[in-house]
Chains A and B, each alone.
Chain A
Amino acid sequence: MTQVQSKPGHKTQVQVTQDALTGAITGRPALTPVQVAPRRPAPQWVLEGVRWLVPVLLVAFWQLASSVGWLNPRVLPAPSAVALAFWELARSGELWHHFLVSLQRAGTGVLIGGGLGFALGILTGTFRAAHLLLDSSFQMIRTIPNLALIPLVILWFGIGESGKVFLIALATFFPVYLNTLHGVRSIDPKLTEMARVYGLSPLETFRRVSLPGALPSVLIGVRYALGISWLALVVSESFAASSGIGFLAMDAREFFRTDVIVLAILIYALIGKAADALVRGLERRLLPWQVQA
């Protein structure tokens, strides 16, 4: 390797080689090395910070607009007023009570609807006859909007808990059912064939091949179901209820307590977030073999 002065002030690296046979000397400019490295992503705290930037700015602006008087509190209360409403309701224990009632309704509905959806999805996914017999009926029921059922639900169940749980169960049944069915059906038949060759009984094949293979899809269904359960909860608590977060909001409307209404909406949003985190946690626990890209 020699340095050659080609232009004044400009050094070019030249590789000089001598041919062993002919003795000819050749030189060519060395290639500039290029660093090959994947771009490093920004550190976690920076990403987190960016994610929260817009919401924080929005709330700050909202507070400012209320304090200066641009916003009528009858239309939209200040964030501080919402915080105050939270504090009052939390201290009296009222908030906690309504929250638990809502949670119980949603939980029961999801367990019943999701459980049935899972069981029937496995059934129709595994057995052709069951699929033939049941699937088209389910698909038909699926097209009925929840809201259309409310008058009927009141007639059937009265205004007690069971009508609300029914609505939630109905809404959560379909996402779990459909995704379970899809999960079972999309198992690679080559894997079930392998299981047969390696001596697994049909039951063992189900337990060790079909079930774990369908699980990612089932969990997608559960995630949808949890999301939709809060939607169904809002619907079911907005009529003939005397407790629950939805009731809190409806009751506050009568007294023009916009702060409580906004609080209720916020709680719904937070619970939705929490449900999502729950499913993500479940996925990490139950699907350790799925490498997150």
Chain B
Amino acid sequence: MTATSAVHLPDPISLRAGDGASVHVQNLTVKFGSNTVLSDLTLDVAPGERVAVVGASGGGKTTLLRVLAGLTPHSAGQVQIRQASDTARVRVMFQEDRLLPWLGALDNVTLGLPRTERAFGLTALAGVGLADRADAYPQALSGGQRQRVALARALAHRPALLLLDEPFGALDALTRASMHTLLETLLDETGATTLLVTHDLDEALKLADRVILLRGGEVTEDVRPPLPRPRDRAALEPLRRHLEGQLL
């Protein structure tokens, strides 16, 4: 008789965690000293909606995400995140990967997950195509792979609100394009409400239900690309030109 080896394959588990949160921001003002970064900003995001945030550098995009994540205090206004259950989470994928150098990829992804949810780590890592690098230390990964691990970490927590701060800012155009497809698939699966900060209008128009433009600390544009996803780039050209004009 041969003993059966105890190999645990991860069940085909879904990263979907229920409905996304809704976001209600009213008359939000954020100041750093005398520098008013966001002034009287109002924004409502419906559950499951994907909003791309564009705007010039220093326009307060990161600040908006940080306020929503509870990392930066605001000077005035109300910020509410309503979610179905009180265990629902808000998770940030930062502008930098912020991986712990002393943990392997999978351990980085499961960081902070309760024991019962560890299995989602491998699902998420497989989702970004890095299941075979589960043991690799961040130093041994390429920049693009590190970004993917950081994305997997955010997804493994199955957040109700997902805040992505220029997730592919450091990537080359080709890797970027493949990451867009990947992100679209993963977001379809999770159903999380998503705010995606980006400099890349193509990225915004391809991935988001709504594109908002931050300017002078306010939302000056709020548009919905009039096409179902996955979207064709050429059809969005006029809208893209319009937004580009507003950005300059």
Contact = CB atoms under 8 A, between A and B. Distances in A.
Given A194-B94, A289-B139, A208 B153 contact: no
Contacts of A94: none
Interface in A243-293: 287-291
Interface size class of B (residues with CB under 8 A): 20 to 34
A288 B94 CA distance: 26
Interface stretch (A71-79, A98-106, A127-135, A197-205): A197-205
Interface string B131-144: 00000010110000
Given A197-B69, A199-B112, A212 B100 contact: yes
Interchain residue pairs A-B with the least CB separation, the first 3: A198-B112, A194-B98, A212-B102
A289 B137 contact: yes
Nearest to B90: A197
A209 B108 CA distance: 11
Which label, helix, strand, loop or mixed, suits the secondary structure of the B interface?
loop
A190 B112 contact: no
Given A208-B111, A291-B139, A198 B153 contact: yes
Interface in B52-99: 69, 71, 89-92, 94, 96, 98
Contacts of A161: none
Nearest to B154: A198
Given A198-B111, A198-B153, A199-B112, A208 B91 contact: no
Contacts of B89: 199
Given A208-B111, A291-B140, 19 more contacts: A191-B100, A193-B71, A194-B94, A195-B111, A196-B71, A197-B71, A197-B90, A198-B157, A199-B89, A199-B157, A200-B111, A204-B112, A208-B103, A209-B100, A213-B102, A215-B102, A289-B101, A289-B103, A290-B101
B83 to A, nearest CB: 15
Interface in A189-232: 190-191, 193-200, 204, 208-209, 212-213, 215
Contact of A190 (B98, B103, B140): B98
11 contacts: A191-B98, A195-B111, A195-B112, A196-B71, A197-B69, A198-B111, A208-B111, A287-B102, A289-B102, A289-B137, A289-B139
Interface residues of A, number: 21
A209 B96 CA distance: 17
A212 B137 CA distance: 14
Given A193-B71, A289-B137, A289-B139, A200 B98 contact: no
Which label, helix, strand, loop or mixed, suits the secondary structure of the A interface?
helix
B136 to A, nearest CB: 10
Nearest to A213: B102
A190 B94 CA distance: 9
Contacts of A291: 137, 139-140
Contacts of A289: 101-103, 137, 139
A106 B153 CA distance: 46
A197 B100 contact: no
A190 to B, nearest CB: 6
A287 B137 CA distance: 11
B92 A197 contact: yes
A48 B157 CA distance: 51
Interface in A155-188: none
A145 B157 CA distance: 54
B194 to A, nearest CB: 16
A199 B101 CA distance: 19
A197 B161 CA distance: 12
Contacts of B157: 198-199
A3 B100 CA distance: 59
B91 A198 contact: yes
B154 to A, nearest CB: 9
A198 B107 CA distance: 13
A190 B89 CA distance: 20
A88 to B, nearest CB: 50
Contacts of B98: 190-191, 194
B69 A208 contact: no
Nearest to B69: A197
A100 to B, nearest CB: 37
B91 A190 contact: no
Contacts of B140: 291
Contacts of B96: 190
A258 to B, nearest CB: 50
A288 B104 CA distance: 10
Contacts of A199: 89, 112, 157
Nearest to B107: A208
B55 to A, nearest CB: 22
A290 B140 CA distance: 10
